[in-house]
Each structure stands twice: as C-alpha cells, then as structure tokens.
Amino acid sequence: MTRGLSLAVFLVAIVGCSDTGPTSVTDTPIVVTPPPPPAATPFPGITAALTLDPTQLLNYATPTLPAHYAGLIGSLTDNGRTAPVTNAGATLGRVLFYDRQLSINGTKSCASCHAQASGFSDPARFSVGFDGVGVTTAHSMRLANTRFYEPGTMFWDRRAATVEAQATEPIINAVEMGFDAAHGGLDSLLRRMRSLAYYPELFQLAYGDSTITTDRLQRAVAQYVRSIISTGSRWDTGYAAVFNPGLPDRGVNQAIASFTAQENRGRELYFTPPPQGGAGCSACHVAPTFALVANSLSNGLDAGETRIFKSPSLKNSGVPGPFMHDGRFATLEEVVQHYDNGIQNGPALDQRLRGPNGQPLRLNLGPGDRAALVAFLRTLTDTQLAVDPRFTDPFRR
C-alpha cells in the first residue's frame, strides 16, 4: 500500500513539472544573425591590377628637400612652376610610365627605356622598340631633375616644347611603342585605356571624373617626371654640411669632409673656371641640380656642327651607360677626354667652350686631374633615387 502511494506521488510530480511552460526549450525561437556582407572595394580596378593604396597615396606634391634645394620649386628655373604636382596626378603618371599597355603589342613602357635602376636611362646605346627588332636613333636621356631645365624643352634636339608634349611622342613613334597613325594613333590608345578597369578610377582620383583624354594623360606623365628629383647623392650629403646661403657661391667651393682627396680635387676642377686652372663645368651644369643652363649651345662633338643639343642633369652620370645624344661615349673617362682636348669647332659651338683665341677650348688636364674629375662626377650618383618606392613599378606582375 505504501509502495503504491509513493508511485502515485512520483507521477503527479512529473506531470506538474511538465506543465511549467518557461522551462520548455521549444518555446524560445532560435534567431540566427547572418554575418554582414563584405565591404565593397572602392577601387576594385586599381587594387586588382596595382600595388597602390588609393586611400594612402605616396607624397609627390610636397617632397622633403635639403636646404640647398630651398626655393627651387616654383622658381624661374622650374619649368613646372605653372603646372603643380598632385599626389593623385603623379600616381596616375607613374602607372602610365610603367604600363606596357601603352605600346601597341603590350611589350614596352616608358620605363623600358628609362629604368629607375639605370638612372632613368637605358644601359644600351640605343633602345629596342616594341617589335624587338627596331632600335631608336638616339640614346635614352636620364630623367632626374628634368623640371630644373628652365626652357622645359625635351629630347636631345629640344623638338618638344614641354615635358607634357614629350610624354606622348614615344607612344606614337613607329619604332618605340607603335601607336603611330597606321595603328590608330592616340585615339586607339585612349580606347584601350578606357577598357582597362584601373584607368577610369585613376583619372577620377586625379581629375575629379573618369574622362580619359590625351591632355590629361600628358599632364599626369609630366607630373611624375617632374617629381623625379635627385637629392640623395654623396655630393648632396657632403655639400649640405658646408652649404651657406650667405656666401656668393653658397659654399660649393668649400672642401667636403666626406670626400677623398681625389674627389675634392675633382670638385675643385668642376667649379673653377679655366682661366683659374679649372675645367669650368659648372658654367653650363649648375649646382645643386646640375641641370643645363638655358642658354647653352653645342658642345662640339662634331666639326661644323649646326645643331644645338640639350643634355640631361649630370645627376646619376656615374651610373654606367652610354653618354651623349648618340651614345658615342661608353664611359665618363671618354666624356672628360672630349672636354679636355676633343672639342670640335662649328657655328653652334658654345662660347664657353672656346679659348681666348676663339678656337675650341683645350684644357690640357693631366691624367691625375682627368681621373679626379671622373671621381667627382661619380659622387653625383643618387643611390636613394634608384630604390625610392615613389618611382618603382606599381603593377602586380
């Protein structure tokens, strides 16, 4: 009897517990919150093709320059003084500079002939064109400090009036990049660029809308080229220690403590006029940019010369490679030898390369002084510029 009563009480307890609604797991719905959708990439074309971060562009607009470069940007010697550089504009120019799609068959870019590691020049005497067979008729010019050649004309023969005008000439050249008239010219190139996802985005960043035009292309490349400023050579570092804006020569004739005796002798020869026993190089290639003066004429490579050639800045002239418009000199030693006793007479010869008798100047330097001048020129090599990330290839190769 007692056993039956206990069982009944147990059953009542179970039923009572099962009637308490809040304890039932089936009464509370299970809510599953889906994860948020991934954020849309604001520049999918750029991020897919390039290593750039469009939200954190590198600094081209306000470069950090040493004191001896103060005031040069925007001065009368700056051919870009009316064409300001922006970070987005120069970034677009950098992409254009390295883009092989700017050649008819996608094999050549501006950087193919103006390599950063080679002083923005070509180690070959003449550059090979897009078809792998044709070659240029002139040596590729170094590009550092282009903006400090006051007239702004480009190419060895100065045929392009501005850096902007020069930017598209290699593109439409039948040998270099191949978008000549027979292949549709620049109109054909612009159609290709509009089909590449990264260009509308880059033009939007640089100009406020995605319209792609020849003028905008030229201005962007010019901004990039004018941004290639050389201030990291051994000469720059050494000169910074003796630079004095209060002196008439701003201290360029002061000995540089970090130089060897030979390099200082070469520096002395470079900045001293021939009547005082020097080579007088600085009369045409002016520190601190070592760009060519505006009124320079022919340098007497050939007798009877009537053409007037432009030269690039002497910065990075120590990087191995050919010299002169036709690459006739393979070494700096040959260059110095020419100015020492090889200048030829002609109607276009610069007056600074004539002696007191009006004939081509003969310096008659000894072997030691010629070697010293070469040693000094090598101190103008800017190893920092050769690896500066602002000027490297931005493509995902």
In 43-148, where do the E strands start and end? Answer: none
**Does the predicted model carry a pTM greater than 0.85?**
yes
Chain centroid, CA 80 distance in Å: 15
Residue 61: both structure tokens together: 């607009």
Topology alike, domains 44-229 and 234-378: yes
What pLDDT is recorded for position 324?
A: 97
Distance, in Å, from the CA atom of 229 to the CA atom of 384, rounded to the nearest integer, reads: 11
Distance, in Å, from the CA atom of 324 to the CA atom of 215, rounded to the nearest integer, reads: 31
Helix, strand, coil abundance in the chain, percent, nearest 5: 40, 5, 55
Element (H or E) spanning 291, and its range?
Answer: strand 291-292
Q: In the chain, which ranges are continuous DSSP H helix?
A: 2-18, 44-49, 87-98, 110-113, 163-167, 169-172, 185-195, 198-207, 214-226, 234-242, 261-271, 332-341, 367-378
Look up the CATH number of domain 44-229: 1.10.760.10
In the chain, domain spans: 44-229, 234-378
Distance, in Å, from the CA atom of 202 to the CA atom of 208, rounded to the nearest integer, reads: 10
Per residue of the chain (397 residues), what is the pLDDT tens digit?
444 444 333 333 434 444 444 444 456 667 777 777 766 678 999 999 999 999 999 999 999 999 999 999 999 999 999 999 999 999 999 999 999 999 999 999 999 999 999 999 999 999 999 999 999 999 999 999 999 999 999 999 999 999 999 999 999 999 999 999 999 999 999 999 999 999 999 999 999 999 999 999 999 999 999 999 999 999 999 999 999 999 999 999 999 999 999 999 999 999 999 999 999 999 999 999 999 999 999 999 999 999 999 999 999 999 988 999 999 999 999 999 999 999 999 999 999 999 999 999 999 999 999 999 999 999 999 999 999 999 999 999 9
The amino acid present at 26, given as its one-letter code, is T
Q: In 243-360, which ranges are continuous DSSP H helix?
A: 261-271, 332-341
For 234-378, the fitting CATH number among 2.60.120, 1.10.1040, 1.10.12, 1.10.760 is 1.10.760
